[in-house]
Amino acid sequence: MTDAPLLIVGASMAGLRTAEGARRAGYDGPIEFLGAEAHAPYNRPPLSKELLQTEGHGHDEVAFPIRSALEQGVTWTLGRAAASLDAERRVVVDEAGVEHPYSSLVIATGLRPKPLPIPSHGLGGIHVLRTLDDAVGLRSALRPGANVVILGSGFVGCEIAATAAKNGCSVSIVTQSAVPLDRALGPELGGEVRRRHEAHGVRFFTRDGLFGLVGETAVERVILTSGVMLECDVLVVAIGSDPNTEWLQGSGLDVSDGVLVDAGLRAIGVDGVVRPDVFAVGDVARYPNPLFDDVPRRVEHWNLPTETGKRAGQLIAAHLRGDDCEPLAAAGFAPLPSFWSDQYDMHLLAFGMTYLADRRELVAGSLDDECVVEYFRGETLVGVCGIGMRSLVQSYRSRFSMPSATV
Amino acid sequence: MIKIDVDMNKCQHYGQCVFEAPEVFQLNADDKLEYKAEAPDEMLADLEAAADVCPMQAIMLTRE
């Protein structure tokens, strides 16, 4: 078994950064990627923006460069999902029944969009957005004049709305929330985001939901729970995501909400015991962040696949060298979440965990122009978000620090 | 030396790179990105970190 590779399930940004991190930390053995998508790792944020409005853009425009450290000793098995894990035998079985033995395993299977919450009756015209293929399919549907209904008002829903409006579509957002981005940014910035969308012709149906669909072969109209009926050529479901952990059922790992890991990104079993040879990174990993508290969370912000991947890479290299990993794991893991969003000419940039806040304070500028908002839980700063004013927002990074001397 | 190229058609001036490699990347008074075109080899790790965190993936590095 000594020749078994470092197996990375999920050919994603998090998987790629893990492999690079392991190489950087001295691991020079074989690496295998097993990915459900047909594509090598690519950058997802442009899928709701540039790629969605630029005909002809595809994998070439969003692919991550493969650095020289990964040119040798790396096997890519793409278009093949993992089906099960036998942690005792250190083997992953893929959907074709092929066994993939490993020395260490990295779980980087990410998320998938939550499905339409009502029966679709097999109607066409219903979209989600997570993968490159999703984006290419949605792009061809966002024709000028198309009636687009977006269910959900999080970042993905809002960015698709902005892109669709730019493409000349007639756009409606249907959301259970009172304002878009309510959970992430609160009612003040959320209200301003709504105002800017409305200025571009987007209609909002808040505190509302989908009751039913009308159509022959494809959706033609949607009926909202409020009774409103909307013309609809394109229905986009953007109401959040679920972790891809079904293949880990029965593996003994705690997958109650993503993969529970310790500060070294090492998986924790249902028995509470750390698995030294199984790691989880990216959106699928659930871990505590001592910058905020000790509650393990899945955090879906863009910089965390990179942060978790680099961190796991160090531990993996040490583990496969036979080193004692405990001091490294005990060193703590406290990445500062960072996220941004482009909608029309509005550039949002944020740090921290704004959605933990119970209080918000406008500290610079004004909402209808450029501004900075601070987010507090009790007396503690937990996040900052700006429209524009990037230098000022960036200057907040140093204000997030570990409580007392936990590291 | 390491050659640094930033695709300014992609760059949205978020300044994430500034935090990773402030010797090379800076936001000027107008919040626009400015950067040095070359850096010594020993900065590779910082520069790769800067390229990694670029939301637009606009930073390209070449070893010379």
Residue A335, chain B, CB below 8 Å: the answer is: no
Q: Which residues of chain A have pLDDT under 50?
A: 1, 404-407
Nearest C-alpha in B relative to A65? B60
What's the farthest any 2 CA atoms get from each other in chain B? Answer: 32
Nearest C-alpha in B relative to A338? B16
Asked whether the domain spanning A115-239 has the same topology as the one spanning A6-112+242-330, the reply is: yes
**Which of A17, A349, A390 has its CB closest to that of B52?**
A17
Residues of A in contact with B57 (CB under 8 A): 43, 62, 64
Residue A155 near residue A341 (C-beta atoms within 8 A): yes
Residue A82 Cα distances to A12, A114, A134, A245, A373, angstroms? 14, 20, 20, 10, 43
Residue A340, chain B, CB below 8 Å: the answer is: yes
Report ipTM (2 d.p.): 0.90
Strands (E), A131-233: 147-151, 170-174, 203-205, 210-215, 219-224, 229-231
Place of tokens 């993905």: A156
Q: What is the pLDDT of residue B62?
A: 93
Q: Residue window 58-97, chain A: list those with CB within 8 Å of chain B.
A: 62, 64-65, 67
Q: What is the pLDDT of residue A405?
A: 43
Minimum distance, in Å, between the CA of residue B53 and any CA atom of chain A: 6
Decide which of 3.30.1490.100, 3.50.50.60, 3.30.70.270, 3.40.50.300 is the CATH code for A115-239: 3.50.50.60
CB–CB contact A24 B19 (8 Å): no
User: Which CATH number is B8's domain given?
Assistant: 3.30.70.20
| Nearest-10 Cα torsion for A264, A266, A269, A274 | -60
Q: Are strands A203-205 and A170-174 parallel, antiparallel or unpaired?
A: parallel
User: Alpha-carbon distance A166 to A36, whole Å?
Assistant: 32
What residues does each domain of chain A span?
6-112+242-330, 115-239, 345-399
Domain around B9 = 2-63
Q: Residue window 7-66, chain A: list those with CB within 8 Å of chain B.
A: 17, 20, 24, 43, 45-46, 62, 64-65
Residue A143, chain B, CB below 8 Å: the answer is: no
Q: What is the pLDDT of residue A403?
A: 61
Residues of A in contact with B31 (CB under 8 A): 388-391
Task: For domain A6-112+242-330, give the CATH number.
Answer: 3.50.50.60
**Which of B14, B45, B57 has its CB closest to that of A349?**
B14
Residues of B in contact with A67 (CB under 8 A): 48
How many C-alpha atoms does A346 have within 13 Å on its Cβ side? 27
Minimum distance, in Å, between the CA of residue B27 and any CA atom of chain A: 7
Minimum distance, in Å, between the CA of residue A234 and any CA atom of chain B: 27
- Nearest CA among A375, A379, A377, A380 for reference residue A339: A375
**Which of B19, B27, B57 has its CB closest to that of A397?**
B19
Residue B45, chain A, CB below 8 Å: the answer is: yes
Q: What are phi and psi of A11, to 5 degrees?
A: -85, 70
- Nearest CA among A364, A383, A385 for reference residue A190: A385
Write the DSSP symbol of residue A258: B
Q: What is the mean pLDDT of residues B26-34?
A: 90
Minimum distance, in Å, between the CA of residue B41 and any CA atom of chain A: 15
Place of tokens 């691991």: A27
Give how many domains chain B has, as a whole number: 1
Q: Which amino acid is at A297?
A: R
In the predicted model, is pLDDT for residue B38 greater than 50?
yes
CB–CB contact B19 A64 (8 Å): no
CB–CB contact A394 B12 (8 Å): no
Residue B50, chain A, CB below 8 Å: the answer is: no
CB–CB contact B45 A24 (8 Å): yes
Q: What value does the CA radius of gyration of chain A take, rounded to a whole number of Å?
A: 22
Task: Output the CA torsion sign for A179, A185, A189, A194.
Answer: negative
CB–CB contact A65 B60 (8 Å): yes
